[in-house]
Structure 1
Amino acid sequence: MGIKLYYTTVTASRTVKSQQAEVMRILESKSIQYELIDISVGREVCDEMRSKAGNPAAVPPQLFNEDQYCGDYDMLSEAVEADTVDQLLKLA
């Protein structure tokens, strides 16, 4: 599967929870299949997400096409507004 969504099941942040839910809703509304990767299962998964994103402070949700970084919640929101989601996710 191409699109990977790094998220967490363990967070006290309402912002992270709502952003994750919104990203999933957007992907599902566009019939884009994706794989969920839960960073709360271990520190190494979080470190992997941050390394691939090129940002040591990255927080979920983060989107990738295989191992290629596509963006975060803000970047996806902007792509939805500009109708460029396929380009952001490297599907086009």
Structure 2
Amino acid sequence: MSIKVYYTSVSCSKEMKKQQQQIFDVLSSKKIKYEPVDIAQDSTVKDLMRKLVGDETALPPQIFNGDNYCGDYKAYENAIEEEALERFLKI
């Protein structure tokens, strides 16, 4: 299994860009390998992300371990606060 972070390279939202970058920075600093998946490059990737999340309006960032949904940024943030990142990521 590998950690996948669905994100977008095209966004006007500074908040979204900040959230995505924070996830990348934390995973990198903890030496957790992950695959960034850009939904802006292919609409079928965005559709897949939303299908896997179970919400047709879901926005990035969304985090998965393989095809197992871990959560969105809010769930990620809660895991960081509770020092439970590994459990959140299912690793």
Q: What's the TM-score once normalised by structure 1's chain length? A: 0.94
Unaligned runs of 5+ in 2: none
After the TM superposition, list the runs of 4 or more consecutive aligned residues in structure 1 that deviate by more than 3 angstroms. Answer: none
Q: How many aligned residue pairs are there?
A: 91
Q: What is the CA-CA distance between 1:72 and the residue it aligns to? A: 1.0
Unaligned runs of 5+ in 1: none
In structure 2, the residue matched to 1:33 is 33
Q: What's the TM-score once normalised by structure 2's chain length? A: 0.95
Percent identity (aligned): 44
In structure 1, the residue matched to 2:89 is 89
For 1:47, what is the secondary structure of its paired residue?
helix
In structure 2, the residue matched to 1:74 is 74
Partners of 1:30 and 1:57 lie apart in 2 by 30
CA offsets per residue over residues 26-84 of structure 1, 9 Å max, x none? 11121111001100011111000000011111111110000000011111111011111
Partners of 1:81 and 1:30 lie apart in 2 by 15
Is 1:52 paired with 2:52?
A: yes
